[in-house]
Amino acid sequence: MLDQPAPMSLDDFSSFGIDAERGFLPTEDPLLELPAQFAPWEEIAHDMPKLIVAGRLRHAVEGMPLLSMAAVEDERALRRAMMVLSYFGHAYVWSGGDVAGRIPENIAVPWHQVATRLSRPPVLSYASYALDNWGRIDLNGPIEIENLTILQNFLGGADEDWFILVHVDIEARAAQAIRAIPAALEAAACQDADGLETQLKEIEASLAAMITTLRRMPDYCDPYIYFHRVRPYIHGWKDNPAVPNGVVYEGIEAYGGEAQKFRGETGAQSGIIPAIDAALGVAHERDKLRVYLMEMREYMPPGHRAFVHEIERQSTLRTFVHGSGVRRQSLVSVYNACLRRVEEFRYIHLEYAAKYIFRQAENYTNSNSVGTGGTPFMPYLKKHRDETCDGLLETDGADENEIP
């Protein structure tokens, strides 16, 4: 039997590509522009909304020179290149009135090159769509929705921008919980009930702030606009009836001309809820849903997926809280409060899935019921919520308000 690698220190956030103040958002604000030799990319990225509307996007992309990222070492540039190329790839496949079953070499080759260096698949994932796709209006101001702008979009407009900005703001508010997790796990391991209770209160407060932002989604993102003008471009090409055989990445020797199947952008590729689930010991049944959740980690930045994995390996939090329940009801209560917040977050998400996707799709016979990640999203989201509720621990009194 092979020895398991020694646990990594969760306190060393930098080793996971995590920032103590920003959570999973990058330590430095995303790069606004690539070096001068990539000007042809930046020009098309800037004009993308107009090119899509004019039906000229594919023609413009096909005319781009084949550029290499091999000499670029700056990670901010690599992440911006990944974002720009991901937008090119998805716009090429999904714009133009018909679905393109191939991605031309001048996108595919550098896209695959950058994706390999970042240890992510060459497809638009949450990291490029949200984590690396924002800038601050006031550079001295906070990372919050009123001080943020989107760097890249497909069609543009308030609805598309707001949809992404809500996710960025949630990531910023989640930093409080991400900071608290290592200390919470340490407190549980040392059987420090007071310390654990303090950290669980931090996690609960962070989740409450995330929920406040999530509830703002309808402010500027209309369900009809989202379904017709935002959602179509973030689909992937795995388990998607529109591209049942996947998409060919031209010029990639490693693929041998075979079509590839990758899932599209989805919030399930964020590390926030998986990290909190892992810390709290929320168990997902070993079924297709769990397989899907594990697959989504391959689309995360490698440090983020390693962080979640280490939390799973090291957390004894639920065991300690459960064992201390008889003598420490306040600890059980704050633990349950965290679970209730996760449940509430998932409940709102389920409501939005019904409002923004399911009800919109009912009016169109050519619509399908899969999410942008290629899953039957309604059953999956309900199951997420139910499995969170299953983790609640018994207390002496009914001190929690149930989420409907």
Structure confidence at residue 208 (pLDDT): 98
Structure confidence at residue 1 (pLDDT): 43
Structure confidence at residue 364 (pLDDT): 62
Nearest to 111 by CA among 133, 136, 89, 141: 89
Q: Is residue 367 part of a domain?
A: yes
Structure confidence at residue 285 (pLDDT): 72
Q: What is the DSSP letter of 300?
A: S
As a whole number, mean pLDDT of residues 49-53 equals 98
Q: Is residue 272 part of a domain?
A: yes
Banded model confidence at residue 253, pLDDT cuts 50, 70, 90: very high
Nearest to 105 by CA among 117, 96, 113, 115: 113
Query: How many other β-carbons are positioned within 10 Å of the β-carbon of residue 17?
Result: 18
Collapse the DSSP code of 135 into the 3-class scheme (helix H, G, I; strand E, B; otherwise coil) and give the result.
strand
Mean residue pLDDT across the chain:
90
Q: Is residue 14 part of a domain?
A: no
Q: Is residue 397 part of a domain?
A: no
- 238 pLDDT above the threshold of 70: yes
Q: Is residue 200 part of a domain?
A: yes
Higher per-residue pLDDT: 249 or 286? 249
Counting every residue, how long is the chain? 404
As a whole number, mean pLDDT of residues 322-348 equals 88
Structure confidence at residue 293 (pLDDT): 85
Contact criterion met (CB below 8 Å) for 336 and 393: yes
Q: Is residue 4 part of a domain?
A: no
Please state, in angstroms and rounded to a whole number, the distance separating the CA atoms of residues 60 and 369.
32
Please state, in angstroms and rounded to a whole number, the distance separating the CA atoms of residues 113 and 251.
11
Phi, psi of 103 (to 5 degrees): -120, 125
Phi, psi of 189 (to 5 degrees): -65, -35
pLDDT tens figures, 362-378: 776 444 444 444 445 55
Please state, in angstroms and rounded to a whole number, the distance separating the CA atoms of residues 123 and 381.
23
Q: What is the CATH number of the domain that holds 135?
A: 1.20.58.480
Structure confidence at residue 384 (pLDDT): 57
Q: Which residues pair with 23 in a beta bridge?
A: 19
91-100, 164-173, 277-286, 383-392, range with the lowest pLDDT = 383-392
Please state, in angstroms and rounded to a whole number, the distance separating the CA atoms of residues 121 and 295.
11
Nearest to 235 by CA among 46, 54, 361: 361
Question: Could you tell me how far CA 213 lies from the centroid of its own chain?
Answer: 16
Helix orientation angle between 158-189 and 302-314, rounded to the nearest 10 degrees: 30
Structure confidence at residue 402 (pLDDT): 42
Please state, in angstroms and rounded to a whole number, the distance separating the CA atoms of residues 380 and 38.
41
Identify the domain containing residue 351 by its residue range.
Answer: 25-389
Q: Which residues pair with 102 in a beta bridge?
A: 248
> What is the count of structural domains for the chain?
1
Structure confidence at residue 224 (pLDDT): 95
pLDDT tens figures, 164-181: 999 999 999 999 999 999
Please state, in angstroms and rounded to a whole number, the distance separating the CA atoms of residues 75 and 69.
11
Q: Is residue 316 part of a domain?
A: yes
Structure confidence at residue 90 (pLDDT): 98
In terms of phi and psi (left: phi > 0; alpha: psi -120 to 50; beta: otherwise), the region of 119 is: left
pLDDT tens figures, 19-34: 999 999 999 999 999 9
14-18, 80-84, 331-335, 387-391, range with the lowest pLDDT = 387-391
Banded model confidence at residue 398, pLDDT cuts 50, 70, 90: very low
Question: Could you tell me how far CA 67 lies from the centroid of its own chain?
Answer: 28
Q: Is residue 128 part of a domain?
A: yes
35-39, 63-67, 239-243, 269-273, range with the lowest pLDDT = 239-243
Q: Which two tokens stand for residue 41?
A: 């990319």
